[in-house]
């Protein structure tokens, strides 16, 4: 078969040549995955009482918030008419998987995450509203929402309500990301996406990426602030990462094996793709470098004992590889699902541009933004005790 | 009610630095100081900020519902989950192909010629292109004459993918490059001109 | 014009103008002409045995609906099937067939043309996924887009199993075949059917008992595209080959 000038091989329906969903839509499930994963890590401590991960509780919440704020931006930037996006709230179409996202997002942001963070930080916000000066004082005063009541009774109440919110938050986090999986998994026209496993796979990969992200951020922040790392905490996080990753990997392999064994009408096309256009991002990056390697690294730490420094090194590299693997997975789902023709007779290529609206540059900026937000949040609401300052 | 105790939440780990350890009493004192007296530890009082939060949330929802009612497009949902006016919008698009009946209303001869021959089922605008502007106002312009050569070949050039029953010619051997309409009348391709002019083909 | 005196001509022209003005006026009024959506249920029939691949339908559609150069509301595919290898047909559709096809020499392969367009599905996956209600099925069975309401999220393009949707490069909204809704609601046929020289594609009103479509469906071997998608497609193909995707 010949390669056409547009990168088309074989036959595509004429309207299919250009991809519909770009790298921005790769970011969207990647970012919401981080949100859901980070939140679930936080709730480990709160609801399942895994004491060891406590040092990262607040950091995980702030990470979730920082990424959640950015999550809708790639979607918004991708729309043909961003100025009309409010219509999703005005006239949401109940049968559309996408329409409900707006509501789940708002619910999760306003009712779960903000409330939980606020309740947890309230005492400190009140304190800072009285001790800080200038603009900061104003900001903190605003954040108190006009209540300065931090009596033990009030704090106890906050704690209980916070617990309930976390309890609601866990299914909400599941919903938030499982739902993103459903947006893809329910497209019957697309054989690469259409599988009931999609929401589950998305959910577990979300947890994997969220846990890995918080672990890395915890190490980075500790290093930056020259604060000793709580190794018991890190070991526990790594253990959870390992187990959740195992489940995630099994699910993905189940999907793969199922496809290979069933070998339905789409198989020839998908198989060809995995061996050619997706070989690097799917087989090399996602499966070998981004999954099997970090899994092996983590597995070694589970069966052998190492010094703290070695463990930290292993965790950091496993965490980084995991992030690469999960990003590759999102890429392979979103972009991979559009590289083959729905006629199963041809393939197209994705041309990633640089400084265009849906190019690489805005994507990089969008990935930097949550860290800037997180940096501000950490300054504003320190997740760790600060004995020296204030 | 819930298995959360202040012991679990607060002050266990020095790294979390929960407010209760250090700043809580201070804050609480200050807060009390602000109020200039003792704060009774009543649930209502302690929950005031939560009630405020809930109220703000409900107010937000209420405002949303009111605004939504106000800005929802007119006629949305009348026939289904869409703007009723969209039906009319789609109907108002301009027409480019006037249709054979319209052409026939003025051009009797081509119409009659066409009907009599094998091209009888073909609409005028298949060969002459969209002419609604001309039909609405003939003075606005005379349609260009179609290029017979390209036109005829597009339909009649031999092609294995065409249904076998369709009359096809390999133009090179059939006419040797001569204009198709030098022998065939486009409107009545089977008759007239051909008779006698050509001894035979194939 | 030998056949008609100028005077005669302009009398006729006047009549046509009056007619068309009346039609336009009726359309513009709040109560549009007698057309009632309840009386129709539109679809299309395509007779593979009649299609000669001239591409006039695709060209006419573009002219009628100002379809952008690189996208297609309707197009023609040419299939070639070698022997029993119906799983791997060779398919081509240069410019969607708008300029016709280069002739195919006789060979051992079986070859034929397949016109494609929106199937105006009764349970349409594109309508299902639209988050805001910007694409919808009209009461008379035509899947339409509300250009002033579409947010351009492209979910519908992904959801269509037939590849009939695209994003209009200038308008940045979903665009697709409207079954010439502006024509069929005035008693005209679609531009593609108007331009089809052989009657391979015909507009069908499934609610009209006198429409030949009923006879067509009853007496022929009928198939829809990708029946496994169960979309309730209303574009009925006669003698569609199993190799067609």
Residues of chain A with C-beta less than 8 angstroms from the C-beta of C229 = 188-189
Residues of chain C with C-beta less than 8 angstroms from the C-beta of B123 = 194-195, 197
- Predicted pLDDT of residue A18: 87
- Predicted pLDDT of residue A340: 95
* End-to-end CA, chain A: 70
Which pLDDT band, with edges at 50, 70 and 90, does B14 fall under? very low
**Minimum Cα–Cα distance from B92: chain C residue:** C182
B197 to chain C, any CB pair closer than 8 A? The answer is no
**Of residues A15, A79, A96, nearest to C152 (C-beta):** A79
CB B9 within 8 A of CB A113: no
Q: Please state the φ and ψ torsions of residue C236, each to the nearest 5 degrees.
A: -100, 125
**Tokens at A201, concatenated:** 């796979």
In a domain, A4, yes or no: no
Query: What is the number of other CB atoms lying within 10 angstroms of the CB of residue A209?
Result: 32
**Tokens at B42, concatenated:** 């009543």
- Predicted pLDDT of residue B194: 54
- Reduce the DSSP state of residue C34 to 3 states and report it: coil
DSSP H helices in chain A? 23-46, 57-70, 72-78, 87-90, 99-106, 114-131, 134-143, 152-185, 197-224, 231-262, 267-275, 293-303, 308-334, 360-380
**Minimum Cα–Cα distance from A84: chain C residue:** C151
Q: Hey, which residues does C39 pair with through a beta bridge?
A: none
Distance in Å, alpha carbon of C15 to nearest chain B alpha carbon: 9
- Predicted pLDDT of residue A72: 94
Interface probe for C, chosen from B72, B76, B86 (most Cβ of C below 10 Å), is: B86
**Tokens at A285, concatenated:** 């990056």
Query: Would you say the C-alpha torsion A241, A247, A248, A249 has a positive or negative sign?
Result: positive
Query: Would you say the C-alpha torsion A356, A359, A361, A366 has a positive or negative sign?
Result: positive
Q: Going by C-beta distance under 8 Å and a sequence separation of 6 or more, which residues neighbour residue A319? A: A212, A213, A215, A216, A219, A241, A294
- Predicted pLDDT of residue A365: 97
The CATH architecture that domain C39-238 belongs to is 2-Layer Sandwich (3.30)
pLDDT reading at B42 higher than 90: no
**Of residues B16, B31, B49, nearest to A385 (C-beta):** B16
Half-sphere exposure of C63 (CA within 13 A, CB side): 24
Contact state of B46 with A149 under an 8 Å Cβ cutoff: yes
- Predicted pLDDT of residue B193: 54
Domain boundaries, chain C: 39-238
Alpha-carbon distance of A88 to A91, in angstroms, equals 6
- Predicted pLDDT of residue A101: 86
The total domain count for chain A is 1
Contact state of C157 with A80 under an 8 Å Cβ cutoff: no
What are the tens digits of pLDDT across the range B48-82? 999 989 999 999 999 999 999 999 999 999 999 99
Alpha-carbon distance of A252 to A269, in angstroms, equals 19
Nearest to C80 by CA among C50, C101, C108, C55: C108
- Reduce the DSSP state of residue A270 to 3 states and report it: helix
CA angle B198, C2, C6 (to 5 degrees): 160
Q: Going by C-beta distance under 8 Å and a sequence separation of 6 or more, which residues neighbour residue C165? A: A15, C118, C126, C156, C157, C174, C175, C176
**Going residue by residue through chain C (245 aa), what tens digit of pLDDT does each one get?**
434 444 344 444 444 443 444 344 444 444 445 899 999 999 999 999 999 999 999 999 999 999 999 999 999 999 999 999 988 999 999 999 999 999 999 999 999 999 999 999 999 999 999 999 999 999 999 999 999 999 999 999 999 999 999 999 999 999 999 999 999 999 999 999 999 999 999 999 999 999 999 999 999 999 999 999 999 999 999 999 999 99
Contact state of B34 with A49 under an 8 Å Cβ cutoff: no
Could you say which residues from 44 to 73 on chain B have a Cβ atom under 8 Å away from some Cβ of chain A? 45-50, 52-53, 56-57, 60, 64, 68, 71-73
Residues of chain C with C-beta less than 8 angstroms from the C-beta of B161 = 53, 78-80, 101, 104, 111-113
What distances in angstroms separate CA B57 from CA A107, A329, B142, C88, C155, one per listed residue?
11, 37, 68, 59, 31
**Of residues C2, C64, C113, nearest to B161 (C-beta):** C113
- Predicted pLDDT of residue B28: 42
Helix axes A231-262, A308-334, angle to 10 degrees: 30
Query: Would you say the C-alpha torsion A276, A277, A279, A282 has a positive or negative sign?
Result: negative
Residues C143-159: b if buried by 16+ CB within 10 A, e if exposed: bbbbbebbbbbbbbbbb
**Tokens at C84, concatenated:** 């029993």
B198 to chain A, any CB pair closer than 8 A? The answer is no
**Residue A49 backbone class (left: φ over 0; alpha: ψ -120 to 50; beta: rest):** left
Counts of helices then strands in chain C (DSSP H, E): 7, 11
Interface probe for B, chosen from C10, C16, C51 (most Cβ of B below 10 Å), is: C16
B56's enclosing H/E stretch is: helix B48-71
* End-to-end CA, chain C: 49
A10's enclosing H/E stretch is: strand A9-10
Instruction: Show the beta-strand stretches assigned E in C14-121.
Output: 42-47, 74-81, 90-92, 110-117
**Minimum Cα–Cα distance from B41: chain A residue:** A153
Q: Going by C-beta distance under 8 Å and a sequence separation of 6 or more, which residues neighbour residue A75? A: A24, A25, A28, A85, C153
CB C225 within 8 A of CB C63: no
**Minimum Cα–Cα distance from A341: chain C residue:** C163
**Tokens at A240, concatenated:** 């959870």
Which pLDDT band, with edges at 50, 70 and 90, does B21 fall under? very low
Distance in Å, alpha carbon of A135 to nearest chain C alpha carbon: 39
Query: What is the number of other CB atoms lying within 10 angstroms of the CB of residue A75?
Result: 22
Contact state of C12 with B105 under an 8 Å Cβ cutoff: yes
CB C133 within 8 A of CB B83: yes
CB A82 within 8 A of CB A134: no
SS in 3 state form for A213-269? Answer: HHHHHHHHHHHHCCCCCCHHHHHHHHHHHHHHHHHHHHHHHHHHHHHHHHCCCCHHH
CB C146 within 8 A of CB C134: yes
B118 to chain C, any CB pair closer than 8 A? The answer is no
Instruction: Show the beta-strand stretches assigned E in chain B.
Output: none
pLDDT reading at B201 higher than 70: no
Nearest to A217 by CA among A118, A320, A70: A320
**Of residues A49, A93, A123, nearest to B23 (C-beta):** A123
With a cut of 50, which residues of chain A have pLDDT below it? Answer: 1-4, 387-390
Contact state of C144 with B86 under an 8 Å Cβ cutoff: yes
Residues of chain C with C-beta less than 8 angstroms from the C-beta of A79 = 151-153
- Predicted pLDDT of residue A267: 92
- Predicted pLDDT of residue A387: 41
Which pLDDT band, with edges at 50, 70 and 90, does B13 fall under? very low
- Reduce the DSSP state of residue A160 to 3 states and report it: helix
Q: Please state the φ and ψ torsions of residue C226, each to the nearest 5 degrees.
A: 40, 60
Residues of chain C with C-beta less than 8 angstroms from the C-beta of A99 = 131-132
Q: Averaged over B1-24, what is the pLDDT?
A: 37
CB A44 within 8 A of CB A53: yes
Interface probe for C, chosen from B78, B82, B121, B125 (most Cβ of C below 10 Å), is: B82
Tell me the residue range of the domain where A312 lies: 17-380
Report chain B's mean pLDDT, rounded to a whole number.
79
Between the ranges A374-388, B1-15, B90-104, where is the mean pLDDT highest?
A: B90-104
- Predicted pLDDT of residue C239: 96
Contact state of A385 with B48 under an 8 Å Cβ cutoff: no
Tell me the percentage of chain B whose pLDDT exceeds 70: 73
What are the tens digits of pLDDT across the range A296-322? 999 999 999 999 999 999 999 999 999
- Predicted pLDDT of residue B40: 55
Q: Going by C-beta distance under 8 Å and a sequence separation of 6 or more, which residues neighbour residue C207? A: C39, C40, C41
């Amino acid at each position: 078969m010949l390669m056409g000038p547009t990168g088309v091989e074989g036959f595509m329906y004429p309207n299919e040549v250009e991809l519909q969903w770009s790298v921005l839509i790769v970011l969207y499930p990647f970012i919401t995955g981080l949100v859901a994963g980070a939140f679930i890590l936080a709730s480990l401590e709160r609801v399942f009482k895994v004491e060891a991960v406590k040092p990262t509780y607040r950091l995980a919440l702030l990470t979730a918030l920082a990424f959640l704020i950015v999550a809708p931006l790639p979607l918004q930037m991708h729309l043909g008419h961003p100025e009309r996006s409010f219509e999703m709230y005005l006239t949401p179409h109940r049968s559309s998987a996408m329409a409900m996202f707006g509501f789940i997002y708002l619910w999760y942001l306003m009712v779960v995450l903000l409330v939980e963070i606020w309740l947890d930080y309230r005492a400190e916000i009140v304190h800072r509203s009285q001790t800080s000066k200038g603009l900061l004082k104003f900001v903190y005063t605003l954040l108190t929402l006009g209540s300065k009541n931090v009596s033990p009774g009030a704090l106890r109440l906050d704690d209980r309500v916070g617990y309930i919110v976390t309890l609601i938050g866990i299914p909400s986090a599941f919903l938030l990301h499982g739902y993103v999986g459903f947006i893809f998994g329910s497209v019957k026209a697309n054989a690469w996406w259409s599988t009931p496993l999609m929401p589950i796979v998305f959910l577990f990969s979300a947890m994997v990426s969220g846990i890995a992200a918080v672990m890395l951020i915890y190490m980075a922040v500790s290093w930056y602030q020259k604060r000793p790392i709580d190794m018991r905490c890190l070991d526990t996080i790594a253990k959870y990462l390992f187990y959740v990753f195992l489940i995630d990997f099994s699910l993905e392999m189940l999907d793969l094996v199922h496809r290979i064994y069933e070998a339905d009408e789409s198989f020839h096309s998908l198989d060809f793709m995995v061996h050619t256009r997706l070989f690097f991002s799917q087989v090399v990056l996602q499966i070998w470098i981004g999954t099997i390697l970090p899994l092996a690294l983590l597995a070694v730490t589970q069966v052998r004992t190492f010094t703290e420094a070695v463990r930290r090194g292993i965790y950091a590299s496993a965490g980084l590889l995991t992030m690469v693997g999960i990003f590759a997975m999102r890429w392979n789902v979103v972009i991979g699902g559009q590289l083959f023709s729905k006629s199963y007779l041809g393939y197209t290529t994705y041309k990633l541009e640089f400084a265009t609206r849906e190019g690489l540059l805005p994507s990089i900026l969008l990935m930097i933004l949550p860290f800037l937000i997180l940096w501000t949040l950490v300054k504003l609401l320190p997740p760790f005790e600060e004995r020296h300052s204030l | 009610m819930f298995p959360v105790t202040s012991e679990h939440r607060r002050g266990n780990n020095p790294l979390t630095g929960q407010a209760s350890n250090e700043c809580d009493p201070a804050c609480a004192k200050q807060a009390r100081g602000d109020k200039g007296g003792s704060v009774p530890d009543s649930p209502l009082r302690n929950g005031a900020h939560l009630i405020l939060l809930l109220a703000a949330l409900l107010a937000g929802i209420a405002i949303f519902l009111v605004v939504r009612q106000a800005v929802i497009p007119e006629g949305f949902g009348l026939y289904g989950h869409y703007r009723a006016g969209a039906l009319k919008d789609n109907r108002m698009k301009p027409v480019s192909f006037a249709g054979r009946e319209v052409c026939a209303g003025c051009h009797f001869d081509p119409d009659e010629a066409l009907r009599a021959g094998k091209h009888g089922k073909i609409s005028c605008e298949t060969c002459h292109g969209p002419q609604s502007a001309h039909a609405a106002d003939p003075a606005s312009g005379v349609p260009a004459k179609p290029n017979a050569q390209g036109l005829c070949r597009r339909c009649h050039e031999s092609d294995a993918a065409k249904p076998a029953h369709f009359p096809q010619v390999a133009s090179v051997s059939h006419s040797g490059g001569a204009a198709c309409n030098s022998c065939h009348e486009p409107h009545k391709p089977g008759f007239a001109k051909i008779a006698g002019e050509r001894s035979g083909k194939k | 014009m030998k056949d008609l005196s100028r005077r005669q001509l302009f009398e006729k022209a006047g009549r046509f103008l009056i007619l068309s003005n009346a039609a336009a006026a009726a359309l513009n009024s709040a109560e549009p002409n007698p057309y009632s959506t309840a009386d129709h249920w539109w679809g299309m029939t395509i007779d593979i045995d009649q299609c000669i691949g001239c591409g006039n339908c695709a060209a006419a559609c573009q002219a009628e609906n100002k379809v952008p150069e690189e996208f297609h509301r309707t197009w023609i595919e040419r299939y070639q099937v070698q022997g029993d290898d119906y799983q791997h047909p060779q398919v081509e559709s240069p410019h969607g067939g708008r300029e016709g096809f280069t002739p195919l020499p006789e060979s051992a392969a079986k070859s034929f043309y397949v016109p494609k367009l929106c199937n105006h599905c009764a349970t349409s996956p594109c309508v299902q996924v639209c988050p805001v209600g910007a694409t919808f099925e009209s009461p008379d069975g035509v899947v339409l887009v509300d250009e002033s309401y579409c947010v351009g999220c492209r979910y519908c393009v992904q959801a269509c199993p037939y590849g009939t949707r695209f994003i209009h490069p200038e308008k940045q909204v979903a665009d697709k075949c409207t079954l010439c809704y502006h024509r069929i609601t005035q008693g005209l046929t679609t531009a593609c059917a108007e331009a089809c020289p052989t009657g391979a594609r015909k507009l069908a009103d499934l609610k009209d008992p006198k429409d030949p479509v009923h006879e067509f469906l009853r007496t022929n071997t009928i198939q829809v595209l990708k029946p496994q998608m169960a979309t309730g497609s209303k574009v009925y193909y006669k003698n569609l080959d199993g190799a067609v995707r």
